[in-house]
Amino acid sequence: MVRFMFLVVLNTFFILFHQIASNDTIPRDKARVESWFEETIKPLQARKGTLEPALEAAEADPKIIRVMKSGGGDFTTINDAVKSIPTKNDKRIIVFIGPGEYHEKIKMEREKKFVTFLGDPKNMPTLIFNGNAAKYTTVESGTLTVDGDYFVAANLHIKNSSPRPDGKIKGGQAAAMRIGGGMATFYNVRFYGFQDTFCDDRGRHFFKDCYIEGTADFIFGNAKSIYLNTEVHCISGEQESWITAHAREMAESETGFVFVHCRVTGVGKGWYLGRAWKKFSKVVFAYSDLGPSVAPKGWESNHQPSPDE
């Protein structure tokens, strides 16, 4: 019980990142990042009066739901737990997910806000499904789809188990997750798939200590996101491919993907950091270890007339 309550407290810590009051930038020295993070992201009690009123009210009295695959919790499936959350929910609902594999396709609509999916870092649960573009379309193929604001995920494996696209069968793209809600936070979440693994669709999002793997365009969308201390893994077998595909369409838009103190891992050559999905795609890698698999050119214009590089 003590450990469980620690995890709940950790949840309230990470939900506050998007409401940073400090103008300090992320340190260039990676050794200072953790201390900067702890100094910058203050506990909820220290932030009262500075947060959006709806967020502050939601965090005042969180409700905890326990999902245990083997029994002993409130539910045995994640979908049943999600169904129990009221439409237009205005309170933080922490869904603690016990160990094991959950073979489910999960979707939370826009009206279900302030939801946390929380696993134990010492025995992380796996959310797994085999949806693909042929059956669901790419953006709806995810094992987990979230459109509600203020979503938090921590200590989870999220996987799409569809087979690797071979170019012969149409519709092989398969997302592990799509996030379309705003002000979402991810901590120690690992995303597994091949093409189009993670759809960072829209909204402001923050990722810390995560892992994302894939074979092509495996981080894509039009969100405004920061990825901090996250491993981006290029699965071997591609002669030429792309990590990101950002979809900023207008120069005045503030969307973009920013990777800070991240690692690009994998074997082989010819991996581009990204290609322009739309005319004004924006992707930044700062203070990051790009690894030998990254092509020297770095960026592919993808036949867009004047993309940002």
* CATH number given to 61-214: 2.160.20.10
User: Which is more confidently placed, 218 or 300?
Assistant: 218
Q: Is the pLDDT of residue 131 over 70?
A: yes
Q: Report residue 302's pLDDT band, with 50, 70 and 90 as the boundaries.
A: low
Active site (annotated) includes residue 74: no
Catalytic residue among 147, 196, 201, 217: 217
Highest mean pLDDT among 53-67, 109-123, 265-279: 109-123
Under a CB-based contact definition with an 8 Å cutoff, are residues 228 and 211 in contact? no
Give the pLDDT of residue 7: 44
Q: Is the pLDDT of residue 10 over 60?
A: no
For 253, counting Cβ atoms within 10 Å of its Cβ (0-12 exposed, 13-18 middle, 19+ buried), the class is middle
CB neighbourhood size of 33 (10 A): 18
Q: Which two tokens stand for residue 9?
A: 């407290």
DSSP secondary structure letters along 9-31: HHHHHHTTGGG----PPPPSSGG
Domain with CATH 2.160.20.10 in the chain: 61-214
Give the pLDDT of residue 101: 99
**Mean pLDDT value across residues 8-13:** 46
Q: Report residue 24's pLDDT band, with 50, 70 and 90 as the boundaries.
A: low
pLDDT tens readout for residues 227-250: 999 999 999 988 789 999 999 999
Nearest to residue 257, comparing CAs of 291, 220, 288, 290?
220
DSSP secondary structure letters along 51-74: S-HHHHHHHSS-EEEEE-TTSSSS
166, 281, 309 from 299: Cα distances, Å: 24, 11, 7
CB neighbourhood size of 297 (10 A): 11
pLDDT averaged over every residue in the chain: 89
Q: Which two tokens stand for residue 26?
A: 């992320």
Percent of the chain scoring above 90 in pLDDT:
70
**Mean pLDDT value across residues 81-95:** 96
Give the pLDDT of residue 9: 42
Q: Model-level pTM?
A: 0.92
